[in-house]
Amino acid sequence: MFKRLLIAVDGSDHSARAVEKAIESIAPELAEVYVEVVYATSSAQPKPGKLSEHELYIHQQNEEEILQPAVERLNAEGIRTEKIVLHGEPAAAISEYANEYEFDCVVVGSRGLNPLQKMVIGSVSRKIVEQIRHPVLVVK
């Protein structure tokens, strides 16, 4: 069914459940699937020369720690993956990236905000559903 997926992760339990649900969804065709695991950070991309080598290393290690569990889990199932780090407001960055490339489905976790939080700040998953032109699977 799905051959090319984008899975957005943020290191939370919700994104880990999204990875598991994606695996379940593609189970019959695992070897034929390609997944891009995306982490969007609201921090600006470090500019060359602005950070020391050590600070840049720490920044990259933090991104790697968020992406690696999902990549390892997918690879354990024999799924081809690629890690992508996006910079900018997460919903906008993920939506822009997903709309630029052809994905069969975008998979995101839901944070389960209460009604007041949703009204005031919205949720990344809701914004993604509204902005992406491809099917979106939101996992609670």
Q: What is the pLDDT of residues 12-40, one digit of tens each?
A: 888 999 999 999 988 777 778 999 999 99
**Rounded to an integer, what is the distance from CA 133 to the centroid of its chain?**
16
Q: Could you tell me where the DSSP H helices lie in 4-122?
A: 13-26, 53-76, 90-100, 115-121
- The confidence band for 110, taking pLDDT boundaries of 50, 70 and 90, is confident
**Among 10, 11, 75, 88, which residue's Cα sits nearest to residue 44?**
88
Q: In whole angstroms, what is the distance from residue 114 CA to residue 54 CA?
A: 39
Residue 63 structural domain: 4-139
How many structural domains does the chain have?
A: 1
- What's the pLDDT score for residue 73? 96
- What's the pLDDT score for residue 96? 97
CA atoms 61, 66, 67, 73: torsion sign: positive
Q: In whole angstroms, what is the distance from residue 81 CA to residue 65 CA?
A: 16
Q: What percent of the chain is modeled with pLDDT above 90?
A: 54
CB 5 within 8 A of CB 35: yes
**CATH number reported for the structural domain that contains residue 127 in this entry:** 3.40.50.620
